[in-house]
Chains A and B, each alone.
Chain A
Amino acid sequence: MWTRKSRDCISRVAVTLVGYSVLLAFALIFIFLLWQVWPLFQPAKISVQSLESASVTMVDSYSVQSTNGHTATHPLMLDNGLDERVQLQADGYFQWYLRVGDDWQLQMQGHLGLASWQAATMLSGSRTLLVADKNAQVYSWFRLHQELIVRPRITLRQMELQALIPVSADSFFSLHPGQLDWYHVTTGKHLAELQLPDTPLQQLQLSEDRQLMRLHWGPDHSQAYQLQWQHPAVAGGQLWSAVHYEGRREAAYVWQTAAAADDSNPRLSLIPLTSGTLKAAGYAMLFATPLAILAAVFTAFYLPERWRYRTRATMEMLESMPTVILGFIAAFLLAPWLEQQLMLFFVLLVLVPTVLVLCSALWFHWRQRQQQQAEQPGAVLVLSLVAGILTAFMLAPALEHAWFDDSLLLWLAGQGIDYQQRNALIIGMAMGLAVIPSIFSLTEEVVSQVPASLTQGVLALGASRWQTLSSMVLPVAAPGILAAVLLGLGRALGETMILIMATGNTPLLGFDPFEGMRTLTASLALEMPEAAVGSSHLKVLLLAALLLLVLTFLINTLVSLLRQRIRQRYLQL
């Protein structure tokens, strides 16, 4: 007796534990990703470092007096430690040199447009010149060939400025009496500050990796500090806002990983990828939603039971079609075909519905003349569909000849529209095909489960089948259909293989149907294996994964709420 009871108990505990572990697994995914992404949003910090680790060699040292604008000798010679050098006069006149071999060649000269300035520096290892004027404004310029490009101004503390000190390729210190501030040039953000003792600072030293700093106030008074700034590529809000990077004419949203960037500083704006994901999903839904919903409504409401069952089973089967196959067909068959037959595609899009409407009207008219009920005959419908498609095939070359001088593509190019072979239309069709079964199945289920008492009541009142459908069934089933569309959207947002294969994978902004895109999912699949462990790139990719997770979580929750609601509604009826 004891063993039976204990076995029962053990079974209960074990099964319950497994049940809970599902919840744990789901929570773990969330929490793990959050925990990984968290350091991205850690602000920069300057903290006091104990002396024993201060044995790191300091490679750059700045004695404070020499760069002070009041006492500095004019003209001031600045260089970036590599191959660029600027000579700056007291009145703002500059000469910009580039090292070629062993000599310095003058690249450009001119006037900065400032009447006077109090401190200036060049960022180490970059082409940016920083100049502070008398009103605590820091201007930054960089040289692009023979041109100076201005970047956003940075406003410093209203205190006496002692020096500007370059820290890295895109950050600098401003040194005031008793105060040190750390700024990010690219975004103009104030990163961190440090209170200093009142004794005048004599020297500032930086280690090569820019993680240690030592300040000297005298021969035997010095202190080491740690500079903590783990993810400069995303620290200043570069993820979601336009940033004016060095080497570009204006602020832009850029996704460029370290391997692709010219100076190996990754540019990680998530805007191009997110817009790519939305664009791809949008075009897919545009293609799939009408087709799937109409087809599902017809299946549920008009097809005889046997055929309905078969159609549903087929669609369920097609839902498991591997998307890698769809992607391959899209990239190697559909894309070249559409490039050749773009005109045919548009003609089909317009002509087939028109022919269908015409044929249905003619058929209706003819049946009425014969005094018969206008039932919907399958054969005539198939014939008119085929007729529409054939007409389009015959008409398209003639129309292309007449309107676009034989080539729609050349005409588009003439209008300044860039047609890429792997574009949003292709994605719309291929990914549309991938989400049609999901939308179809749920819509069909919801529409066919509308209580028979309702539909029969409406039919008994003399309404036609279509009137029953449009005035009764669809409004009742609306939340369910919305759930179906959302389910499809969730699938489209998370789809990967089709997007890797048929989008061209160029991060582009905008919703142009003839251009490709790069999506969050494609970036994840292609870049994750190459991103170094612990790098900003990897963390941003994890952030992208988290974003997708949250998005699909919201959509799925909404779907399950809607489904619950429609189930209750059917029960009440």
Chain B
Amino acid sequence: MRQWWQQGSPWVWFSASALLVCLGLFMALLGLIAVKGMHHFWPAPLVQFQLTEQSRPQLGRLVRSVSDRAERKDRAYRLVDRGDLIVDASSQLPGRYLLLEAHQLLSDRPKQAVWVQLQDGRTFYGKQVGQETAPSDAGLWLDLGMAAPVLISAVEIRAYWLPNQLSFRQKGAVFWQEWRYFLTASPSQNQSAGGIFPAIFGTLVMVLLMAVLVTPFGILAAIYLHEYAPKNWLTQLIRTSVYNLAGIPSVVMGVFGLAFFVYVLGGSLDRLFYADQLPAPTFGTPGLFWAALTLALLTLPVVIVATEEGLSRLPQAQRLASFALGATQAETIWKVVAPQAAPAMLTGLILAIARAAGEVAPLMLVGVVKSAPQLPVDTQFPFIHLERKFMHLGYHLYDVGFQSPDAEVAMSLVYAIGLVLLTLILLLNLSAFFLRQRLRRKYRLID
């Protein structure tokens, strides 16, 4: 036993399991988001249920089973989504989501069950009872569990399918179609339906604008630090400030962005150039440009550090050779050093973009809104509208999850948004990682 303790056996076991737990938790998290996000688009079978013995059977989508432990009864409930409801005077219906007991579910899964989504984002589940083919009002007759069937006009229908009849392959086709719709459409029904295109677009525009702002600054600063800076206290101070800039909490940067960029700079811009529109602010209010500027400040150290690392991997002999051939320092830097360090700069830029795409807190202060009426880039002069507010994937996720009136609708949608965001960021990081790997290998060979 003594030997067991002396050899540190329990500690080794502990540390090994700590690693397993860390990685396991992360993998579980990623897996969960992937599965739940994908699940959002997979056509679920429709089930039939009856609220009371007398009422007409209705159709709904089975969301999940719920067991209520708080009540100390092991009664299993099923959460069923009835879709958006057409409310008529005769039916006094409770909300969209219902908790049903097992006996209320009917075993029968009707083949004619239809899932219809309208152009405005509303979804209906009903039994198809007929088709109207007259060209004037073509559409579907659906039995929605109300007194009479309802005619849904073909013009209004965005997509419909009969999930209980679909084969696995057809479900796959629907799955991809829904993904495509999700990525290219605008949100509807108070963010709870439709797609996320404006959020993706807003994120991209903001991030690209930020890249335009941060790249020259970051690269020049790195070149200064590595090629020009003398070894003295001032350089040390600059290095410290780069290091500390990286450690500033992002929300503090957002506060600075709002208080300085928006209120002070934007306010003065308004007074100078847009005085005729005051008191309605143009630049004196959060917007795309200020958000990009704030995030540029936030990601500046990322670019500097990555570029400097690339510069330091370049063999000193190349610089000396360049000097020996009579080149000036500027020529050495711009014709010999910088082109070879370009992949490192690109790495830094990608990392900065990944960081910026995942930040939400500072953006909440400097320009993101829950739904923007116009995209920040359009066909009207001057094409890029720097003062407009925009939508952002991360904030959209927060907004749908927390501000939406119906948490259940939001849940699976949020997983889908999270999956898109996570994929975007992981892809960016992976590309930066492999780029850096390649660069390292290359200069290891030269050395």
Contacts and interface: CB of A to CB of B under 8 A. Distances in A.
A311 B252 contact: no
A545 B255 contact: yes
B98 interface: no
B402 interface: yes
A570 interface: no
Interface string B235-269: 00110111111111111111110111001100000
Nearest to A288: B22
A376 B227 CA distance: 49
Contact of B259 (A361, A385, A464, A542): A542
B244 A553 contact: yes
A545 B361 CA distance: 13
Contacts of B407: 332
Contacts of A460: none
Contacts of A533: 263
Nearest to A549: B252
B245 A26 contact: yes
Say which size band chain B's interface belongs to.
35 or more
B166 interface: no
Given A4-B331, A8-B329, A552 B248 contact: yes
Contacts of B263: 533
A560 B243 contact: yes
A282 interface: no
Given A18-B221, A320-B354, A322-B422, A553 B7 contact: no
Contact of A469 (B8, B351, B355, B418): B8
A322 B242 CA distance: 23
A12 B228 contact: yes
Nearest to B256: A29
B252 A548 contact: yes
A22 B18 contact: no
A556 interface: yes
A562 interface: no
B8 to A, nearest CB: 3
Contacts of A316: 429, 433
A21 interface: yes
Contact of A340 (B69, B229, B358, B359): B69
Contacts of A378: 16
Interface string A400-425: 00000011010000000000000000
Interface in B1-40: 1, 3-4, 6-23, 25-26, 29, 32-33
Contact of A15 (B20, B223, B234): B223
A353 interface: yes
Contacts of A384: 13
A182 interface: no
Contact of A494 (B248, B329, B418, B430): B248
A496 B394 contact: no
Contacts of B364: 525, 529
Contacts of B351: 320
B8 A464 contact: yes
A18 B228 CA distance: 12
A494 B251 contact: yes
Contacts of B245: 22, 25-26
A26 B19 contact: no
A155 interface: no
B333 interface: yes
B446 to A, nearest CB: 22
B360 A4 contact: no
A16 B224 contact: yes
A383 B25 CA distance: 17
A553 B14 contact: no
Nearest to A542: B259
B16 A298 contact: yes
Contact of A361 (B1, B22, B252): B1
Contact of A302 (B16, B22, B253, B361): B16
B73 to A, nearest CB: 11
B146 interface: no
A195 B263 CA distance: 40
Main secondary structure of the interface of B (DSSP, over half): helix
A332 B401 contact: yes
A298 B251 contact: no
A297 interface: yes
B386 interface: no
Contacts of A115: none
Contacts of B6: 464, 467
B330 A7 contact: yes
B421 A325 contact: yes
Nearest to B328: A8
Main secondary structure of the interface of A (DSSP, over half): helix
B300 to A, nearest CB: 7
Contact of B221 (A19, A332, A365, A538): A19
B255 A528 contact: yes
A413 B414 CA distance: 33
B225 to A, nearest CB: 6
B13 A360 contact: yes
A381 interface: yes
Contacts of B69: 340, 407
B243 to A, nearest CB: 5
Contact of A552 (B225, B247, B411): B247
A549 B252 CA distance: 7
A202 interface: no
Given A25-B297, A298-B18, A321-B422, A545 B398 contact: no
Interface in B340-365: 351, 354-355, 357-361, 364-365
A407 B225 CA distance: 62
Among B255, B258, B264, B433, the most chain A Cβ lie within 10 Å of the Cβ of B255
Among B1, B4, B223, B260, the most chain A Cβ lie within 10 Å of the Cβ of B4
Interface in A530-564: 533, 538, 541-542, 545, 548-549, 552-553, 555-557, 559-560
A23 B256 contact: no
A298 B21 CA distance: 13
A33 interface: yes
Nearest to A521: B251
Given A19-B238, A357-B10, A364-B4, A433 B29 contact: yes
A38 interface: no
Contacts of B102: none
Given A325-B421, A528-B255, A496 B17 contact: no
B207 interface: no
B224 A18 contact: yes
Given A8-B330, A329-B32, A525-B361, A407 B13 contact: no
Given A360-B13, A525-B364, A324 B247 contact: no
Contacts of B256: 29, 32-33, 545
11 contacts: A8-B328, A16-B224, A18-B224, A19-B220, A22-B217, A322-B422, A332-B411, A353-B14, A361-B4, A545-B251, A545-B252
Interface of A: 4-5, 7-8, 10-12, 14-16, 18-23, 25-29, 32-33, 36, 290-292, 294-295, 297-299, 302, 311, 313-314, 316-318, 320-329, 331-333, 340, 352-353, 356-357, 359-361, 364-365, 368, 374, 376, 378, 381-382, 384-385, 406-407, 409, 433, 436, 440, 464-467, 469-470, 490, 493-497, 500-501, 521, 524-525, 528-529, 533, 538, 541-542, 545, 548-549, 552-553, 555-557, 559-560
Given A25-B297, A524-B252, 4 more contacts: A11-B333, A321-B425, A407-B72, A494-B250
